[in-house]
Structure 1
Amino acid sequence: MVDLVYGMGITDIVRDFPAHFSMLTKYLSIKLFKSKPFIYGSADIINICNLHCSHCYWWKTRRNEKDELSVEDWRKLIKNTFKKHHVYVVTLVGGEPLMRQEVVETFCEEMPRRICVVTNGTYPLPRFKNLYFYWVSLDGTEQIHDSIRGKGAYAKTKKNILDYIAGPSRNGKPAWKDIWITMTINSMNYKTIEGLIEEWKGTINKIGFQFHTPFDDNDPLWLPFGENRSKVVDKIIELRKRYPDFIMNTEKQLQLMKGTWGGTKTTPIDCPSWAILSLDHKGKTKHPCCIGSSDSNALKPICEKCGVGCYSILVAQGLKN
């Protein structure tokens, strides 16, 4: 089966034709009528994480609330939000979403083959029947990854990925097709990009890159715009030409990352932040985007230094605020 669109083959596209048709009509309405429909979804299904990664946006806006929505609460929310608005794909994040597998299962039941899970990979990866795929976070090669996420984190994640891949096929596809890696590039790990690619190409399906987005002007992890960052982007573009089926970012999206593309200070300008319906662990809408918060008093991401992949790819496709 040939992968045509984001890991989907012909049979996948035909089987899920209504979802693809809805997606097409939304793009046409945006282009022709300047409408602003929700295209994708994001949900923080848990308010707990087993790691405390130094670069993670979630800790900057997290509220210390212990109560979370029940499975049935989430089922109702899915129907009244994501399904009501015919959202194409929902990405489950947290915290660490695999600490609430029953909620992941509920999403997969309600929106089969339309659910991605972003995980740090330190828990064994369950074989959810109707999952779209896993986004496993790796922030460089082992030493650097561990310096960001904690000693031993890389080895745990690698073992869990390889254990999953060694398992049986799922829905007629080999297990390795379920695993995509996401790397958030920052001032600590940018020199390990090629090493990470070389280690994982031929083992998992795809890798995607984005850049660390600061919430503070003095964030030491932000890789400043300028010659060094541009060289990093050019290197990824060069590697993409070498491995076009492995690196999922488009060249146009990567070029955006050389400078300001999203907004001014903490206000989205070109960024189509409206395109992603983002809910926190209480089911409340996050602002100004999926790395923001439903709390109006919380810290906000600096839009003019944004490096978030899910919005920059939309801008690269011609969608703007």
Structure 2
Amino acid sequence: MADGILYGKPISYFPNGYPLFIALLKLIFSDALVPTILIIFNIIFQILSQYLFFKLLIKLNLNKELALITLFFVAIYPNQINYTRQILTEPISLFLLILSLLMYVSNKPFLSGITGFLAAQFRPTLIFLFPLILIHEIISKNTKKSFLLGLGVILCLFFFKILEYFNLILPPDNLKFNLIVATYSDSFNINWELARSKLSIIKNPLSVYINHLITNPLDFLEKRIISLWSLWGPFSVTHRGILEKILIGIRFPLFMFSIALFLLRKNLLSKNILIITYLPILVITFIHTMFFSQQRFTFVVEPFIIMHTVLYLYSFKGNFLNEN
């Protein structure tokens, strides 16, 4: 896709954020250097994400000691380390998401809208997050904040539409493919080749997906349960070593502690904590459960479930928010 952008023959598949980023690097560095540069940027984005996440926790009124403890566990979390060393969209998506949320709680909704939209160009499931935040602001009658947040999103959307108009990029087309995968495969055993073969035959994947729900609800439900398990289940059913399965399985108790904090300690949480740290988890979990899941899809919300775990465990000792 990056080469297509550079040669004036754009390809419609994934969202255009990462291909545009790679294309920019290809203009600066030789092709042989680009993979190494991408990994270096992953490390930079991950370090910046840690710093911004600490700033976000302080903005959410968390006491400094707990913020540092949370940061430590995020830094050593196996999944965060594993996907930083690979050429994937996860680190830059996390960076943009946390930057956007920090802008939001810092009362800079315009910048939050821009960076939030950009985050969704790298991790497309995040596109549903900021409309939910916008709806919350409208319901709360924060007219100015909701206007500026929406304006930031609209201006970014307009920019990408201009790129499409001049044929520099094409609209992403991966939704159709994802619907076919969700219909014909489960997340334990995704048949990519089958999905590709059906992509050229099926004209309306959404109607096929809905028809599958109506005509075969038990199989549909089984696939959704498997998707949820692939996101947050206690172990991986893929062919991995014992140690790898244990490290992956850490996600399950963290997810349970996150739920426990919401159900049992919600009275201790501020409104900002509820919105900022739970909505991303809800969006990622719901969307990928309804489609399909892979282990890396939780990457952008792992700092939040780690934060929730620290807060829940500390809540037995005392209040985790600053008294102001």
TM-score strictly above 0.5: no
Compare CA radii of gyration and give the structure with the larger one. Answer: 2
Structure with the largest fraction of helix: 2
Q: Which has the higher contact order (CA 8 A, sep 6+)?
A: 2
Task: Flag the structure with higher strand content.
Answer: 1
When normalised by structure 2's length, the TM-score is 0.31
TM-score (normalised: structure 1)? 0.31
